[in-house]
Amino acid sequence: MFEADAMRFVASHTNVPIPKVYNACEKDGKGYILMSKIDGRPLWNVLSGITEQEKENLVEELGGYIKSWRSLSAEYFGSVGSGPCQDVFFQHLPGYRRPDKTYGPYRSRKDYNDGLVEALKNGRPTGCLSESDQILVDRMMALCDDRKVFSHGDLHPDNIFVDDRCKIVAILDWGASGFSIPEREYFEARSRSKHHVWTEIIDRVLPVLSSDEYETFERFNKALVLYSGV
């Protein structure tokens, strides 16, 4: 149960508000988590109507929580407990080759990048890379920051619960979390943003990628789903 393990881990090492995990189990191939109830509403529901002061408070509060979990590190890239990577790049299924394969954990950035190449090959009908694929691979392999930074992996307004004062009461859905490359959190949050206020918040609470770096991740991510569509 990667998500339950991650929730317990973050709760015990940071001040990030997370529902308390009472129990977790698997049945018939599905995972279940019994956790405490949270009183609040998704940030998405109020995002369009927040005041400038509420936004500033949110930036300060969320930025502090993100800084807290990004201070957590490990000796590998992967989910808590040395599990496989849950990064979006490794979750595009079904692939043409080995659709049930998991990726990681990886001990180095080179190993992680090699895993990305393997995922790209597994998404190709022939298992071979095209010329344009190889150009993307070369750009990705040039990114070599080896820091293993804890990431939420699915940071968006529906997973942040706030109270009537727009104060964060809980951050939910840790199923995609884990120790990952430093660029991951910003790319995944920014690429999924559907609201200009949230985009502004992301740019203020996370280390922003350069335009070239962001383009590299964006193009690589699109290449991964060229044939599978998901």
Domains of the chain: 39-230 (3.90.1200.10)
- The per-residue pLDDT for range 117-159, each reduced to its tens digit, is 999 999 898 899 999 999 999 999 999 999 999 999 999 999 9
- What does the alpha-carbon distance between residue 24 and residue 52 come to, in Å, rounded to a whole number? 40
| pLDDT tops 90 at residue 76 | yes
| pLDDT tops 60 at residue 190 | yes
114: part of which helix (H) or strand (E)?
Answer: helix 109-122
| pLDDT tops 80 at residue 228 | no
Residue 199: other Cβ atoms inside 10 A: 13
pLDDT for the residue numbered 1: 79
Confidence of residue 100 (pLDDT cuts 50, 70, 90): confident
pLDDT for the residue numbered 96: 55
Q: Report percent pLDDT > 90 for the chain.
A: 87
Confidence of residue 98 (pLDDT cuts 50, 70, 90): low
Average pLDDT, rounded, for the chain: 95
Model confidence, pTM: 0.94
Q: How far is CA 150 from CA 67, 147, 177, 181, 194, in A?
A: 10, 10, 7, 8, 24
